[in-house]
Amino acid sequence: MEVIIQPTREAAAHLVARIIARELRANPHLVLGLATGKTMECVYRELVRLRQEQGLDFSLCSTFNLDEYVGLFPSDPNSYRHYMEHQLFRQVNIDPRNTHLPNGMAEDLDAECRRYEATIQRFGGIDLQLLGIGKAGHIGFNEPLSALRSRTRVKALTPTTLEQNAPFFGGEDKMPRRAITMGVGTIIEARRCLLLATGDSKAAVLAQAVEGPITSMVSASALQLHARCTVVVDEAAAGRLAGKDYYRWIFANEPEWEEYR
């Protein structure tokens, strides 16, 4: 794992957008795994700017989102499909046919999960997976106790997650209780993982994920098993990391990061 600490939320998100842009320029057919949530909005804004101002080309790339709520129509303002359409897809030159999210309205949800895994395989697997982290330590909706080898499946949301996301729905009672999510095993098969965490509300869980033991209680800790995982944080989210000075030293000295310093 590499941990990069940036002074602000914006600087962290911009660095993530630059890493994505660089991968996309190097491989226009990139298979990009995407994430939702407040943290990512700044990343998508920056990618839209790079499209508008530098002509960053999305026309050949394909995307797979981590998760989707069960029981919401794609047009529902709280669905992750709706989020993606507004934050990114409609503002860049991506081919809508190449954008994939699980269908939370599928009649047979288990079959939908198998279909989603098979589609990822058919596209040759995910090259770069963007990730946020939930307050319960989840990546995607892999809530505590998610098996480290789990695949795409339906998960019940925990009270912490319901509480965290309820404001978007106008209350917990209006919120779906389940979601389809890529499994931890699906996620760590991506060739590269890129996790962004900002704000002090993520500091404790981020320290557990990066420096704590690998445990299904904090599904993000499974990223310690990944051969190429970059974690980008702002100062606030880095607040509880014990190895901060060491991470800063690596970022300042590692030639790979020269163009990002």
Options 35, 113, 218, 238; binder of ligand GLP; rule CB under 6 A: 35
Say if CB 140 and CB 165 are below 8 A apart.
Answer: no
Q: State the amino acid at position 65 in one-letter form.
A: N
- Map residues 47-86 to x or -, x wherever contact with ligand GLP holds by CB under 6 A: -------------------xx-------------------
State yes or no: residue 120 binds ligand GLP (CB under 6 A): no
Tell me the window of 46-54, 88-96, 130-138, 241-249 that interacts with ligand GLP (CB under 6 A).
Answer: 130-138
> What DSSP letter does each residue of 52-87 carry, written as one string?
HHH----TT-EEEESEEETT--TTSTTSHHHHHHHH
Query: What stretches of 171-223 show up as alpha helix (H) in DSSP?
Result: 184-188, 203-211
Which of 35/229 has CB closer to ligand GLP? 35
d(CA 55, CA 24): 12
Of residues 22, 25, 29, 38, which one binds ligand GLP by CB under 6 A?
A: 38
List the one residue from 152, 161, 186, 230 that touches ligand GLP (CB under 6 A). 161
The rounded distance, in Å, linking the Cα atoms of 46 and 196 is 14
Under 8 Å between Cβ of 221 and 187: no
Minimum CB–partner distance for residue 134 and ligand GLP (Å):
4
Residue closer to ligand GLP, measured from CB, 145 or 252: 145
CA atoms within 13 A on the CB side of 218: 20
Give how many residues touch ligand GLP by CB under 6 A: 13
Nearer to ligand GLP, 55 or 74 (CB): 74
Inter-CA distances, 112 with 101, 109, 151, Å: 10, 5, 12
Question: Considering the rule CB under 6 A, would residue 141 count as an interface residue with ligand GLP?
Answer: yes
Kindly list the residues in this chain that would bind ligand GLP in the complex (CB under 6 A): 35-39, 66-67, 132-134, 140-141, 161
